[in-house]
């Protein structure tokens, strides 16, 4: 297996992009990534998208996008693992390059979520849960994560304020990200006074509905070394699943798929949690970030809330979490999120993250998950 | 890259399976494949499904199925390339084994299509076309293939009767396949008198709406050699795309993605069309089989209709096409089709195909495509 580097990244502003259709939303960052890499060919396209069928009535997405990019007849594959579709695309792209099947792979993620009504979007997102055992009974994702939050508060004494602090921190970071959907600061008070969605979660605990895409170009490290940019390698990958219904789990406050994927990635990279200098995590809800930092081993089990309160996960803390603003502030076009995390990590490792730069960053991580942790992808990136 | 073998296959009867949900439909052939392989572990699951979101309101499918199989926390990925999703799953599974990432990979394909109305199914299938440039204007797949058929008739003199003969041949083969949805013979007259769908195509020119799944187990050839079954290797893979809208093509009678994928597979396997002893092709409509046999080089351009009429593609002909009964008689649960083709090819190569056995079969091919040829996967299999 060959070592694999990210040689190009691309992202354009996220938000409610009424004036653009999915193909345009995808092609813009894809072309930026190609330009950033400075390559004149792409051997293969892998695109992550969760539910283009329900959101815009379009499947066969990878062929459509290869075609619209003008890159047909290259092989093109769409992969799906709910909100972890982007992370899955990254893994599959890595495999194509590592195995020698392709030299230059365009990995993208995209979702166009605002062409449907709110109810339809809620239904589409709900298809990441077990529809027969969860959705059928009326529960949607805010409800599932509210169950997790309530259990975490009960078991570990996590407070309502600590949940809010996750959102406040991520908005502070996101206020420094010009591509974020909501690039402004919020306060704990604003979170606590926002509309109740599913007790204890309020609307400012929830990531938004977003249109957006992101893209990276993968290539062998040997090729990356000939380019002018700092070489950023993918050194660790983890991929695990769990029951997709919460009812199947022993302890709903513990994200086993995140733990397992993290362990695999650490092992492959020969790294420990202490070696990671910053991490982009899947904060689809504030409680998710807390559980993820615990499962990845950055904080002790049950201490995720306290860690936020003590500033350990802030941009200048011991382990900055979500310097990009996370899903909460940057936005969450579900299939694109895992790829956008990689874009952020690479920008940080190259020292191109502007006001939100983590100083001296050489080793970063991205953690992307589907549903309430039914699937998880973890990647470790290192600057050579 | 390691050589890869198919060490297990599984399929259960296809049809309108009202009494079973998608997860049950999938797990049955998956367990048969595991049993057939005689393995006691699976390292990874890859599942092809075209539109489980629109058909049953369920995404995050690979995690759901790994979970329901009792195989979580193994990594699980769903891939989609419209009706070529199954073929794409096979390629991705091959890559996992060939690269050394996994030893034993379960590759499955599944679709549950009968839980929606006919109009909803037509819409879901239409998402394989370019929705903005084709679907929006009201055309669906029978219409797109009718355009191809009309052009082929005009350009090459292909007759209405020759189209019908494709269906008659495939039903004759399918009558020998106990797992087929429609395991009975039909006549040219029956086809010509069946309901008109999109002139010149009639309902008996069209593959049906089907519930079904299929599964294969992939492993390194070294492992396969230690088992008791004949060793069947995957020796060639091709994967290409084309414009997904017909309007983008120079000649709609020519399936460029099929040609390119075929060429890649032949090159990788070191084979020529003359070396292939039988082929499973994507006869979603009768005209499709004719165009595919031309694009793969089994017959001359424009001569696909005559080839059927002369019996060249019959079970005892020069190049038997669709010994399983094809999509027409066996059924077409879209995401499962590419995997079911592999199941048939392996059964033929092992000499386990019963009344439809191609005598002395050592080298077979499977060709699976998405939409009207916007994507195509070709695999060559050889018995060692």
Q: Following DSSP, what letter does each residue of A266-330 receive, concatenated?
A: HHHHT--GGG--EEE---SBHHHHHHHHHHTTSS-TT-HHHHHHTTTTSTTSSS-B-TT-HHHHH
What is this structure's pTM?
Answer: 0.98
How does residue A344 score in pLDDT terms, banded at 50, 70 and 90?
Answer: very high
Using a pLDDT cut of 90, give the percent of chain A over it: 99
| CATH superfamily label, A130-206+235-383 | Thiolase/Chalcone synthase (3.40.47.10)
Give the residue on A whose Cα is nearest the Cα of B373: A63
| CATH superfamily label, A4-117+210-224 | Thiolase/Chalcone synthase (3.40.47.10)
Please state, in angstroms and rounded to a whole number, the distance separating the CA atoms of residues A90 and A216. Answer: 9
Contacts of B131 in chain A (CB under 8 A): 56-58
Is residue A239 within 8 A of residue A263, CB to CB? The reply is no
Instruction: Determine the length of chain B.
Output: 384
Residue contact B374–A64, C-beta within 8 A: yes
Please list the residues that pair with B230 across neighbouring strands: none
Catalytic residue at B282?
no
Please state, in angstroms and rounded to a whole number, the distance separating the CA atoms of residues B36 and B342. Answer: 14
Measured between CA atoms, how close is A325 to chain B, in angstroms?
25
Residue B269's pLDDT is 98
Please state, in angstroms and rounded to a whole number, the distance separating the CA atoms of residues A220 and A6. Answer: 9
The dotted CATH code for B118-206+233-383 is 3.40.47.10
Q: Among residues B284, B332, B376, B379, which one is catalytic? A: B332
Contacts of A128 in chain B (CB under 8 A): 59-60
Q: Delimit the domains of chain B by residue range.
A: 4-116+210-224, 118-206+233-383
Please state, in angstroms and rounded to a whole number, the distance separating the CA atoms of residues B98 and B1. Answer: 5
Mean per-residue pLDDT, A141-153? 98
Average pLDDT value for chain A: 97
Mean per-residue pLDDT, A103-123? 97
Q: Which residues of chain B have pLDDT under 50?
A: none
Cα distances (Å, whole numbers) of residue A109 to A165, B50, B160: 29, 18, 44
How does residue A213 score in pLDDT terms, banded at 50, 70 and 90?
Answer: very high
Instruction: Write the class of the CATH domain B4-116+210-224.
Output: alpha beta
Q: What is the 3-state secondary structure (H, E, C) of A184-213?
A: CCCCHHHHHHCCEEECCEEHHHECCCCEEE
Contacts of B56 in chain A (CB under 8 A): 131
Task: For residue B227, give the nearest of B34, B382, B45 by alpha carbon.
Answer: B34
Got the DSSP string for B71-103?
Answer: -TTS-EEEEEBTBTHHHHHHHHHHHHHHHTS-S
Measured between CA atoms, how close is B56 to chain A, in angstroms?
9
In 10 A of CB B20, how many CB atoms? 16
Which of A75, A240, A370 is nearest residue B239 as measured by Cβ atoms? A75
The helix/strand count (H/E) of chain A reads as 14, 11
ipTM at complex level? 0.97
Interface test with B, best of A63, A87, A238, A268 (most B CBs within 10 A): A63
Please state, in angstroms and rounded to a whole number, the distance separating the CA atoms of residues A229 and A238. Answer: 26
Residue B199 structure tokens: 């002139």
Kindly report the backbone phi and psi dihedral angles of residue B362, in degrees, each rounded to the nearest multiple of 5, phi listed first: -125, -25
Residue contact B67–A132, C-beta within 8 A: no
pLDDT digit string (tens) for A233-257?
999 999 999 999 999 999 999 999 9
Residue B143's pLDDT is 97
Catalytic residue at B83?
yes
Contacts of A81 in chain B (CB under 8 A): 60, 62-63, 76-78
Residue contact A75–B240, C-beta within 8 A: yes
Please state, in angstroms and rounded to a whole number, the distance separating the CA atoms of residues B324 and B337. Answer: 11
Which of B59, B99, B124 is nearest residue A128 as measured by Cβ atoms? B59
Residue B310's pLDDT is 98
Residue contact A123–B57, C-beta within 8 A: yes
Domain B4-116+210-224 and domain B118-206+233-383, same fold? Reply is yes
Contacts of A88 in chain B (CB under 8 A): 77
Residue A206's pLDDT is 98
HSE-up of residue A218 (Cα within 13 Å, Cβ side)? 31
Residue contact A244–B374, C-beta within 8 A: no
Residue contact B77–A81, C-beta within 8 A: yes
pLDDT digit string (tens) for A66-101?
999 999 899 999 999 999 999 999 999 999 999 999
Residue B270's pLDDT is 98
Give the residue on B whose Cα is nearest the Cα of A255: B73
Residue contact B75–A239, C-beta within 8 A: yes
Residue B246's pLDDT is 97
């Amino acid at each position: 297996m060959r070592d694999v580097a990210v040689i190009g990244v691309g992202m354009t502003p996220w938000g409610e992009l009424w004036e653009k259709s999915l193909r345009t939303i995808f092609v813009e960052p894809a072309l930026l990534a190609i330009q950033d890499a400075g390559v004149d060919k792409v051997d293969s396209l892998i695109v992550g998208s969760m539910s283009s069928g329900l959101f815009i009535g379009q499947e066969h997405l990878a062929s459509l996008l290869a075609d619209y990019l003008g890159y047909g007849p290259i092989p093109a594959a769409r992969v799906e693992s709910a909100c972890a579709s982007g992370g899955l695309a990254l893994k599959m792209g890595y495999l194509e390059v590592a195995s020698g099947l392709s030299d230059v792979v365009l990995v993208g993620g995209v979702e166009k979520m605002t062409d449907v009504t709110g109810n339809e979007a809620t239904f589409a997102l709900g298809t990441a849960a077990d529809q027969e055992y969860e959705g059928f009974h009326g529960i949607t994702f805010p409800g599932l994560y509210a169950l997790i939050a309530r259990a975490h508060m009960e078991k570990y004494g996590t407070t309502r304020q600590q949940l809010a602090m996750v959102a406040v921190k991520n908005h502070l970071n996101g206020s420094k990200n010009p591509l974020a959907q909501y690039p402004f600061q919020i306060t704990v008070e604003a979170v606590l006074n926002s509309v109740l969605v599913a007790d204890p979660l309020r609307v400012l605990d929830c990531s938004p509905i977003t249109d957006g895409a992101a893209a990276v170009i993968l290539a062998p490290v040997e090729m990356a070394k000939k380019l002018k940019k700092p070489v950023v390698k993918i050194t660790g990958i983890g991929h695990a699943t769990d029951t997709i219904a919460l009812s199947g789990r022993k302890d709903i406050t513990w994200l086993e798929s995140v733990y397992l994927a993290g362990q695999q990635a650490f092992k492959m990279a020969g790294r420990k949690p202490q070696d990671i200098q910053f991490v982009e995590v899947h904060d689809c809800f504030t409680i998710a970030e807390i559980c993820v930092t615990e499962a990845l081993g950055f904080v002790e089990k049950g201490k995720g809330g306290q860690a936020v309160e003590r500033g350990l996960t802030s941009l200048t803390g011991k382990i900055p979490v979500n310097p990009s603003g996370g899903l909460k502030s940057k936005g969450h076009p579900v299939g694109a999120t895992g790829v956008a995390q990689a874009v952020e990590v690479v920008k940080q490792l190259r020292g191109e993250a502007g006001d939100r730069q983590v100083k001296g960053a050489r080793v970063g991580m991205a953690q992307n998950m589907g549903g309430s942790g039914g699937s998880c992808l973890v990647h470790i990136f290192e600057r050579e």
